[in-house]
Structures are given as structure tokens and as C-alpha cells.
Amino acid sequence: MSAGRGANPALMDRRRFVGLAATAGAAAMAGALLGGCAGEEEHAPEWAVPEEEAAAMAAPSPAAPEASATLVAVFSRTGHTLQVAERIHELVESDFFRIEPAAAYPEDYDEMLETAQREQDDDARPALASAVENWDDYDTVYLGHPIWWAHVPQIMKSFVEQHDLAGKTVVPFATSGGSSIAGALPDLEALCPGATFAEGLTLDGDAVDAQLDRVDAWLANANLR
């Protein structure tokens, strides 16, 4: 075989070299691209939210403060004070509770007066028929009762001793045949250290129907509604 038709070693070496160089170049370029991608992943994009702001955005919004709860609590044997309590309940957003003794007072008026006098002389604490549920939920308590022998009925002392009024606002009201709540209020204040007492209201027990408009004015003047 002549030299003109045989393989040229020098040409083969150059071709192999070029091929190898091309392969190496492609590998280097791919490595550079991969390296560039890896480098980009190490840095947050310019539009990313800083960690502090992201945490603040993810945190739940603070809950709105709950509105203070109000209770109208009343003891009423004849229904006169109950009328006043129901009027307050109509005008003020509130819950309602009737204070009742476990043993009912006598229906006869004279017997009731004798029982009330005896309880006061003995500084008795008549048992309650029931207690207020969720008492701690209330911030303001409208507290009503008749005035007996110029004082609060002893059942009211039972109530305030079994329901802690410390830290609450007490709004007193009463019905009477002649006495004022101002004279009876010290009975409750002495048993309720830590409570704040608002201005009280007294209505004539025999003329409640004609005086209910005074409830509206009392609440408005005392900023209680």
C-alpha cells in the first residue's frame, strides 16, 4: 500500500485533539452554567420579603377586645322593683337575674314586715334559691331591691357575700315607701370592698308606673347608657 492511500498519523492526532478539546470545552461550559445556577440559588431574589417582615405578616392579628358584660340583678317581692329592673334591661344591653330566697317570704304584708324585722335584728343571711352563672364575666352589675325598715333586705347581703363584687361597678336602684337608697347603700358598701358604686336611684314603690321615665333620665345623666 502506498503512502498516499494510508492513514496519516499527524492528521489523526490533530483530529483527535480537536475532538477532545471540543468535548472538554462543552463540559467546562456546562459546569460553568451549573455553577452559575447554584450561585444564584444561594442569594434571595431582589423581590423577596425580609424574614422579619415575613414573620410579621404571618403572625395572627391581635384579637379585638371583648365588650364588657353587664348584669341586671334584682330582688322584688311585690313586683315594684322588678318593673324598674325590666326598664333598665330594656335600655341597657345586659343579662337579667332574679335574686330569690330559697324559702319564700310570707305573702301577707304584715307577716313579711315581721320577718324582715326579725332578719335584720338577727343579721340573718337567708339562703339563695340560685346563684349567677359566669359571674366573673360581668364588669357592671345593676343591683336592685326594695328598702325594708330603712335598710336593704337581708337577702341582698346574702347575695353580695356569695358574689364577689370586687373590681366591678355596682349601679344601685331601689323602690321605697319613703326611705332613700342613700340611707341603705352603706349596708352594701360595707360588704363590698373593692367595688365601685355609681349614683343610685330610688322610686316610689306605689307609683312606679308613673315614674319609669326617671329611669331613662337617670341613666342618661349618669352616662350609663
Query: What are the pLDDT digits (tens) for 40-86?
Result: 444 545 445 556 655 555 555 545 445 569 999 999 999 999 999 99
End-to-end CA distance of the chain: 122
The residue assigned the cell 318593673 is 83
Predicted confidence at residue 52, as pLDDT, reads 60
Burial environment of residue 210 by CB neighbours within 10 A (0 to 12, 13 to 18, 19 or more): exposed
Per-residue pLDDT band at 4 (split at 50, 70, 90): very low
The residue assigned the cell 337617670 is 218
Span of 20-29, 149-158, 200-209 with lowest mean pLDDT: 20-29
Q: Is the pLDDT of residue 209 over 70?
A: yes
Element (H, E) at 91: helix 80-91
Q: Is the pLDDT of residue 29 over 90?
A: no
Span of 12-21, 87-96, 149-158 with lowest mean pLDDT: 12-21
Predicted confidence at residue 61, as pLDDT, reads 52
- 35 or 207: which carries more pLDDT confidence? 207
Task: Calculate the average pLDDT of the chain.
Answer: 80
Query: What are the pLDDT digits (tens) for 96-117?
Result: 999 999 999 999 999 999 999 9
pLDDT over 70, % of the chain = 69
